[in-house]
Amino acid sequence: MLSLQVMNVDIRIDNQHAWVRVLQVFDSHVAQVLEGKYLFALPRTASISDFAVWDGYTRIPGVVMEIRRANQIYTQIKNQRVDPGILQQDDEHGGTSAFSAKVFPIPSYGTKRVEMEYSEMLPVDGLMSHFTFPLKPSFGDPQTCAEFNLNLHIVSETPLSAPVFASQAYPLQTVKAGPQEYEFTCHARNVTFTSDFSFDYRLNVPNSTISWVAYRAPETISAYDLRDPALAARNPDGYFQASAIFNQQGPQTTEPGKSFKSRNLVFLFDTSLSMHGLKLNRAVEALDYFLHNLTEGDRFNLILFNSGLSTLAAEPLPGTAENVEKALRMLRESYLSGGTDLRKALQTAKEMTATYPPGERCIVLVSDVNPTLGTISFNSIASLFEPAQTQEKSNLRLFAFAVGSDADTRLLEELTTRTHGSFFQARETDDISSQLRIFFEKVGTESIENLQFSSPSKDAFRHVYATGGHTFDGAGFSFVGRYTKPTPETTVKIEGRLGNHPIELGKTVSLPEFDDRHDQLPRLWARARVDALLHEIDVNGESEALISEIIRLAQKYKFDTPYTAFIAAPRSLLRPRLIQPGDPVLRVKTDPSIRSVFAVFPFGETLPLTFLPSQQVWEVRFFAPAWLPDGAYQCRLLLTDKDGNGYQETKSFVVDSHAPQISPTAQPQSAKAGDEIELRVDADRDTLRLAARMYGAPAVPLLWSDAAKTNLGKLRIPAGIAPGRYPITVTAEDFAHNQSSAEIIVEVH
């Protein structure tokens, strides 16, 4: 139906800050108008910074809005066959590290052009840094691109080794190669994306050091600042990033952080149904690596968990080859089932560590970290581990290898911070071979604690945020903040402690009067501020003040959050028409002569609209009552101009609060592994999309057939699946984005 004709990717890495710009041009090969939905599974630290669609030769840039309002506007505009696009965090397909972009209309036999920008901070581990641009899909067939162009530019204050590229599928030409700058290009045709574009490079740091970048330039006052006069003044503050790269072991080792002492380990492996397909492949690969890298002096146990638990042994076992094979045999003989009772699994692992000899005990979790059973509350799960103490830490530590772009990274960050552990998140399609070594070397090693940023010019700095609570030797750690007093020279320090050994790094730096080279720093600081606010919400719950500040920062510095979305449409059409029961906003753009606007709603309420000078629109927030029946309604607008003349307009909206009703069947209902079965689904007329999923098999779409007068699709049972009864889950979504699901049971023999 759609083919990818052109894909241009520009990647710029400036002192570990990666900026990626993507342009895609799609061709339609069908006669009907289409809506496109694209999923982007990005790294957990990534932040969308721009989004745009094209109407012919006109670029329609995205603006940041409250997420609910943006979705309402998108649907209203789509119903008018105007070119909107919306991009937001996608909870269903990946939570905070996945984003969905919907674009409509894609004209029959026409083209649609989409642009997106995102940025991320690349972590440093084992003095190595890794970058991935996702090209291989997590499910379904790889996509082929008729014309693929990629440019890569890396600059760094710290000397770097030449990047090592994981795949040879994308032929690169070297433009520039030096110890602090590399540049490459790729131009290819008819490329099939069978692997991600990824590479590693080493930071050549003989000893621990600080790198420093700063930015200061006049700020543009946005419409969002003008809502609050206190924010409308030009702010002369500059921005900075101070990054420590730790190599306390010096140049005598190529593997920072490696430990040879014996370890006490409990491996916790997720066998719930969500761990299917490529997730399971990555998880098994990880556990296999960890087990085979045990020493005979290590002691370990293995817990497999889903809705229940199974344990390898009653007592911890030495890490011999025989016991490793015993653990792997237990894993091979297990099967996926049930949901994820994460709290129960962590509680059991915590209790099991009491059977180990005295000393430090480590829980190594391998999971997609999506609790669905038992207690799923953030605070309840986090309460299993006491918050980390400043001077003294517990001898129980959690290390998590999270698989899947939908892992709950905020929960993992809280748990590993409290226990002085660490976590790593891998996409389903990632090549994790190098990351496994770096991750497992941290398990049981000393962490660098009590990290602080300081300066004799302390009054010059404010709103300084750290990238975490602790780090490890061979890794990086950053502080981002603002400075108020430009000065040609001052000193800064980053201090910490590795075990009983203090660490103190210093550097003489400049706080420039004007320097616009590192223009990523304002957004980087705002992102750190929002992350701190989101953490407060996770711990203490939502509040209007916190959400309002998150939305304001996202709008001013232009990035996505769980409370905002990018929407691209002609500005005159940015007002909602599809309304669900709740608390929507009505916005109206009028002629400048209009002095007052009242809205008369069909449920008996009349409200005045307030004029927003900064945006030249009238606005009112109202309640669509939950008792209001589904259907199409009209709102009357009463307008009065400067001469007292009255006018009346109408604005239509649709209320739809009911999920689509579906009735699925399968033929045959009994089949062999590897067989193909036909699915038929009767659904409501307003159903927008249908999909079927089965454990171990990629999701398949179900499309309307005029001949059969129903929705049809074919699903192939995985070739290696064990005999038994398996559910096929059919999900449906209507035009108002209400969702429902139903199951069919098939017998595999």
Q: DSSP string covering 650-705, please? A: EEEEEE---PPPEEEEEESSEE-TT-EEEEEEEE-TTEEEEEEEETTEEEEE-EEE
Q: Which residue has the higher pLDDT, 700 or 511?
A: 511
Q: pTM of the predicted model, to two decimals?
A: 0.66
The enclosing H or E element of 494 equals strand 487-498
3-class SS of residue 715 = strand
Q: Is 336 exposed, middle or buried (0-12, 13-18, 19+ CB in 10 A)?
A: middle
Reduced to 3 states (helix: H, G, I; strand: E, B; else coil), residue 225 is: helix
Radius of gyration of the chain (CA): 28
Is residue 341 within 8 A of residue 305, CB to CB? The reply is yes
**Is residue 366 within 8 Å of 403, Cβ to Cβ?**
yes
Q: At what angle do helices 321-332 and 278-292 cross, to 10 degrees?
A: 170
pLDDT at 447: 92
Output DSSP code: residue 386.
P
Residue carrying structure tokens 């190595």: 128
Nearest-angstrom CA–CA distance, 458 and 557: 26
Which string of DSSP letters, residue by residue, matches 103-148? EEEE-TT-EEEEEEEEEEEPPEETTEEEEEE--S-SSSPPPEEEEE
What local confidence, expressed as pLDDT, does residue 256 receive?
44
Model pLDDT, residue 574: 37
Q: Please name the helix (run of DSSP H) or strand (run of DSSP E) that holds residue 527, with its range, or none.
A: helix 521-540
Would you state the pLDDT for residue 510? 95
Backbone angles phi, psi at 117, to 5 degrees: -125, 145
Q: Which one is predicted more confidently, 260 or 360?
A: 360
H/E segment holding residue 496 = strand 487-498
CA distances from 72 to 67, 84, 573, 576 (A): 9, 12, 12, 5
Section 2-24 average pLDDT: 93
Q: How far is CA 492 from CA 160, 186, 361, 498, 520, in A?
A: 24, 41, 36, 20, 21
Q: Taking Cα atoms as reference points, which of 595, 590, 593 lies closest to residue 616?
A: 590
Share of the chain above pLDDT 70, in %: 82
Mean pLDDT over all residues of the chain? 83
Phi, psi of 667 (to 5 degrees): -135, 120
User: In which band, very low, low, confident or very high, does the pLDDT at 416 lie, cut at 50, 70 and 90?
Assistant: very high
First to last CA, the chain: 35
What's the Cα-to-Cα distance from 442 to each of 133, 203, 471, rounded to whole Å? 25, 18, 10
Distance CA 650, CA 641 (A): 17
**pLDDT at residue number 443:** 94
Is the CB of residue 494 less than 8 Å from the CB of residue 505? yes
What are the backbone dihedrals phi and psi of residue 435, each rounded to the nearest 5 degrees, phi first? -70, -30
Residue 483 dihedral angles phi and psi, to the nearest 5°: -125, 145
Q: 402 — phi, psi (to 5°)? A: -90, 130
> Phi and psi for 674 in degrees, rounded to 5?
95, -15
- The pLDDT tens digits for 714-742 are 999 988 888 888 899 999 887 666 778 89
Name the most confidently modeled range: 4-8, 375-379, 565-569, 614-618: 4-8
Residues 6+ apart with CB under 8 A from 150: 8, 9, 10, 11, 170, 172, 184, 185, 186, 197
Task: List the structure tokens of 240.
Answer: 């900075």
So what's the pLDDT on residue 41? 63
293-339: per-residue pLDDT in tens? Answer: 999 999 999 999 999 999 999 999 999 999 999 999 999 999 999 88
- pLDDT for position 135: 87
Amino acid (1-letter code) at residue 105: P
- Compute the distance between CA of residue 66 and CA of residue 453 in angstroms, rounded to an integer: 34
Give, as one character, the DSSP assignment of residue 250: G
Q: For residue 713, is pLDDT > 70? A: yes
Answer whether residue 226 shows pLDDT above 80. no
668 prior amide bond cis, ω within 30: yes
- Which is higher by pLDDT, 455 or 58? 455
What confidence score (pLDDT) does residue 330 get? 96
Query: Which pLDDT value is given to residue 581?
Result: 43
Cβ pair 101, 394 in contact under 8 A: no
Question: Residues 513-569: pLDDT tens digits?
Answer: 999 989 889 989 998 999 889 888 877 877 878 888 888 888 788 877 877 766 555
Question: Residue for token digits 């009505």?
Answer: 586
> In this model, does residue 259 exceed pLDDT 50?
no
Residue in this structure with the two tokens 């700058």, named with its chain if needed: 181
The answer to whether the beta carbons of residues 1 and 143 sit under 8 Å apart is no
The more confidently predicted of residues 109 and 275 is 275
660 in Cβ contact with 733 (< 8 Å): yes
The C-alpha atoms of residue 460 and residue 466 are separated, in whole angstroms, by: 17
Task: Kindly list the structural domains of the chain, giving each domain's residue range(s) and its CATH number in brackets, ordered by start.
Answer: 2-199 (2.60.40.1730), 209-254+448-519 (2.60.40), 264-444 (3.40.50.410), 577-655 (2.60.40.10), 662-748 (2.60.40.10)
Report the residue count for the chain. Answer: 749
At 73, the pLDDT band (50, 70, 90 cuts) reads low
Q: Which of 429-433, 579-583, 665-669, 732-736 shows the lowest mean pLDDT across its residues?
A: 579-583
CA 249/CA 257 separation, integer angstroms = 8
Dump pLDDT digits (tens) for 117-132: 888 889 999 999 999 9
The pLDDT of residue 535: 82
Over residues 399-404, the mean pLDDT reads: 94
Determine the pLDDT at residue 392. 46
- Structure token digits, residue 253: 């080792």
- For 633-687, the pLDDT digits (tens) are 778 888 888 888 777 777 766 666 777 889 999 999 999 999 999 999 998 877 8
558: left (phi over 0), alpha (psi -120 to 50) or beta: left
Residue 522 phi, psi dihedral angles, 5° rounding: -55, -45
Q: Which residue has the higher pLDDT, 473 or 139?
A: 473
Sheet architecture: strand order including 662-667: 662-667, 676-683, 710-716, 703-705
Structure tokens at 226: 């003008």
**Which pLDDT belongs to residue 394?**
67
